[in-house]
Structure 1
Amino acid sequence: MTAATAIPQRNDARLGIALMVLTCVIFSLQDGVSRHLAEATNVTMVVMVRFWFFAGFVILLGRAQQGSVRAAARTSHPVLQILRAILLVVEICVTIYAFTLLGLAQSHALFAACPLLIAALSGPVLGEKVGWRRWTAIGVGFLGILIILRPGVAVFDPRGLTALCGALLFALYSLLTRFVARKDSAATSFFWTGTVGAVAMTAVGLFHWEPMSAADWALMVLLSVMAITGHWLLIKTYEVAEASTVQPFAYLQLVFASAIGVTVFDETLHGTTVIGAAVVVGAGLFTLWRERARRSKDPA
């Protein structure tokens, strides 16, 4: 297959949703480790070392699967691949920094806006069909986010804008990932994510190097393995299902990350966060039901 050959798009809703839920579990565990390491050292160093492992893995994988690095890097969208990789490393830095400012629960309460942004933009950006029932589910999910945010409370201070910025960056990265998947394989996107991300972070992170304990280096290795696995699963998710179908289930990361924040970092989980999380998860379940109905008759 050449880089110019179009890759058929699938919309296997069940597989896509299952992959998204698994991705959320891995990303939530990763976020907990990232918060600890960022507080022990600094954000840029953590992200830089993580991408060194990531780049090494994708280079070895690319050579094994494609025969050479040049073949692994062959793409129909070189500029977009570079852009999406840079968006990801910036988003990771911004979001981990938000963890150190707000904690996991509050940061993810704000980051929960990301799936809404992706689902809403998947129509105009990717040309995917979003029926009125899905739009209703998105709207209900947004109401759930308002419950979590508790308008007028201090979560709207400048620290909260950091997490919201991370959500916007990740939404853009996710949409570009889906777009390049039309012609580039998951392996190609994976290669560009790791290599470009490592170059970009090294240019910044070397100026912030700090020594780490042996225990923290072990956690860094664990973090790198989770990052590799999580991003691979995310790319595969967008390959097998429409963004508007799977994105409501990304809300589950809020639940998983909040649980880690409360049990590991002694964060306070407000009752409004629990109620809002139930609303957004319910919106996601409704979207799944609508997808099953859509497969048995014409789209609404």
Structure 2
Amino acid sequence: MTRAVTAQSNNVPAGIALMIAATIVFALQDGISRHLAGSYNTWMVVMIRYWFFAAFVLSVAARAPGGLRAAARTEQPLLQAFRGVLLAGEICVAVYGFTLLGLIDSLAVFICYPLLVAALSGPVLGESVGWRRWAAIGVGFVGVLIILRPSGGVFDPAAVVPLVSAFMFALYGLLTRYAARRDSTATSFFWTGVVGAAFLTGFGLYHWQPMTAPDWGWMVLLCVSGAFGHWLLIRCYEVAEASAVQPFAYFHLVWAAILGITVFGETIRLNVALGAALVVGAGLFTLWRERRKG
């Protein structure tokens, strides 16, 4: 009994280390995705990645008590299926955004998703959002506008792609919270992987392209890093409270910026740096308010 309690203790330093490690893996994953999607169809790249993810999910479920039958059991199959399709589609949109805008600009916009979660938590989950959090949301979206830098009142369509990705990911997160009221984490994880793989297969096979041997090596690394990143994140939330480690998820932008500059020759424009600072600051304030409220 003592060992079980220790395993569930709130070890914040270990949680922070795991979160930072996860952000490094996810940034690497973004870089590989950008490389592959620059040469091959996005649907195909994400499909192969999801095949590995689905295999990982099925292997985890098969080893758990009750096996695959217990993992798949749900009273809300339509909701779970929609979650799976939504996340698969969001990843395709995000990867496509990398090919249009690069890692730095795409992720600078995408990091507004915690603000979208806060803004949508009322209509989706019925949670109350106070004026302080609404103010933070407003500041964050001013930051997004600075990043997008609309010219003549018209947005660059390419710049909206990561914003759409952020909205889809925020909605996915809220629906995951909603599903958790009646389903276990294992069930949601199972449906996310299996439904996402099935959905993407229908599009990915149609857009299949021959891949070179070196790029197959990158694809294998992408698949392994995806599973490893999820494991790090799950382990992170097992050893520490989410509210304590979530602010360190913003390191994802730091690593992606380093990768974008050193590998892809990207630059950090002043408006992107200023806008991202506003978005991150607003996001941290929102997390702090949520923790105090909790």
- State the TM-score bracket (shorter-chain normalisation): 0.7 to 0.9
- Residues 107-186 of structure 1: pairs in structure 2 closer than 5 A: 107-152=106-151, 156-186=155-185
Q: Residues 292, 110 of structure 1: CA spacing in aligned structure 2 closer, same or farther, 3 A cutoff?
A: closer
Letter in 2 for 1:216: D
Q: What is the Cα deviation at residue 22 of structure 1?
A: 5.5
Tell me the distance in 2 between the aligned counterparts of 1:190 and 1:202: 18
Q: Residues 244, 148 of structure 1: CA spacing in aligned structure 2 closer, same or farther, 3 A cutoff?
A: farther
Tell me the distance in 2 between the aligned counterparts of 1:13 and 1:133: 27
Q: CA RMSD in A?
A: 3.5
Letter in 2 for 1:84: R
Name the SS of the counterpart of 2:150 in structure 1. coil
TM-score (norm 1): 0.80
Partner of 1:282: 281
Q: What is the Cα deviation at residue 124 of structure 1?
A: 2.6
Q: What is the Cα deviation at residue 232 of structure 1?
A: 5.8
Is 1:189 paired with 2:188? yes
Q: What is the Cα deviation at residue 116 of structure 1?
A: 1.9
Partner of 1:69: 68
- Residues 242-257 of structure 1: pairs in structure 2 closer than 5 A: 251-257=250-256
Q: Residues 285, 169 of structure 1: CA spacing in aligned structure 2 closer, same or farther, 3 A cutoff?
A: closer
Letter in 2 for 1:211: P
- Residues 1-300 of structure 1: pairs in structure 2 closer than 5 A: 23-152=22-151, 156-231=155-230, 251-290=250-289, 293-294=292-293
Letter in 2 for 1:124: P
| Cα deviation digits, residues 49-94 of structure 1 (max 9, x gap) | 1111011111111010134321111123211110010011111111
Tell me the distance in 2 between the aligned counterparts of 1:35 and 1:163: 13
Which shifted more, 141-150 or 175-184? 141-150
Structure 2 gap segments, 5+ residues each? 1-10
C-alpha contact 2:114 2:283 (8 A) present in aligned 1: no
TM-score (norm 2): 0.82
Q: Residues 293, 122 of structure 1: CA spacing in aligned structure 2 closer, same or farther, 3 A cutoff?
A: closer
Structure 1 gap segments, 5+ residues each? 1-11, 296-300
Q: Percent identity?
A: 61
Tell me the distance in 1 between the aligned counterparts of 2:149 and 2:16: 29
Partner of 1:5: none
Tell me the distance in 1 between the aligned counterparts of 2:20 and 2:126: 24
Tell me the distance in 1 between the aligned counterparts of 2:173 and 2:50: 18
